[in-house]
Structure 1
Amino acid sequence: MASHIVTTEWKKNLLFKSDNPNGHTILMDTSQEMRGNGAGASPKALMLSSIAGCSGLDIIMILNKMRVQPDDFHIKIEAELTEEHPKVYKKVHVDYLFYGNDLDEEKVNKAVRLSVEKYCGVMEMFRQFSEVTTQVHIHNK
């Protein structure tokens, strides 16, 4: 069974530095309104970035196998938090935006569907506590 070890170190005030299994580090902080310094990403926003990263990696790998090469690809996520503590994401919407020349819409949609329904473990984790919706936007030149 695979496991990951992450070590997070308090730096000062509300700033934390965290590593990950491949050796890269990130800074986490909160806004000045919340008495932080805004010197890093917020932990909750990083969770949304994790959906985008996980699904995006899947999609690009699948599209490469299908020999589909978008010129550009963006993932935009909008999420709604609960009002009460602990505040969690109750709704998450993921927009996949593809740009290119004569992109094969069927293949692009299939790649997204495979990531969303089969491969992206982060998205599956989110489905345990949140309503997750997705939409694909293909912009052919």
Structure 2
Amino acid sequence: MEFKMNEKGFETTVDYGTLHISGNEEYGFRPFQLLVSSIAVCSGGVLRKVLERMRMSFDDITVQAKVTRVEDEPNRISDIQLHFVIKGSELSEDKMEKALKVTRKNCSMVQSVKDSIHITESFEIIV
């Protein structure tokens, strides 16, 4: 990937389109938003695949991310709490806990930051 500076930040073009990145969210995605999005969506996508392989039917998955930043260390992200809301009628809490463990091990974004950002997962099942 190549990132080109412009008057408001940086941009890159990928197959899907142009991604605008800026420290000012009026002009593009902020870098921390992209980092958190990558972790949340990677985890959600892996969870979807894990549930499908476990033959657990579900209707929807929503991932909520709560971010803790350390102001004393250039606003470094220290913690991300991922909360998965899974909608389905026949979901088991025990199997969901197992699915989340497998998800954590197989999400490349979580594995990439696990030694620098504390990531926790929780879930709720909605019928």
Q: In the alignment, does 2:118 pair up with 1:125?
A: no
The answer to whether the 8 A contact 2:22-2:29 is kept is yes
TM-score, normalised on structure 2?
0.85
Q: In the alignment, does 2:2 pair up with 1:10?
A: no
Post-superposition offset of 1:85: 4.0
Look up the equivalent residue of 2:48 and give its one-letter code. Answer: I
Unaligned residue ranges in structure 1 (runs of 5+) = 1-5, 32-36
Unaligned residue ranges in structure 2 (runs of 5+) = none
The answer to whether the 8 A contact 2:8-2:27 is kept is no
Q: In the alignment, does 2:22 pair up with 1:29?
A: yes
Aligned residues: 126
CA 74–11 in structure 1, closer or farther in 2 if over 3 Å, else same: same
Cα RMSD of the aligned pairs, angstroms, is 1.9
Percent identity (aligned): 23
Matches within 5 A, 1:35-114: 38-114=26-102
TM-score, normalised on structure 1?
0.78
Look up the equivalent residue of 2:12 and give its one-letter code. Answer: S
SS of alignment partner, residue 47 of structure 1? helix
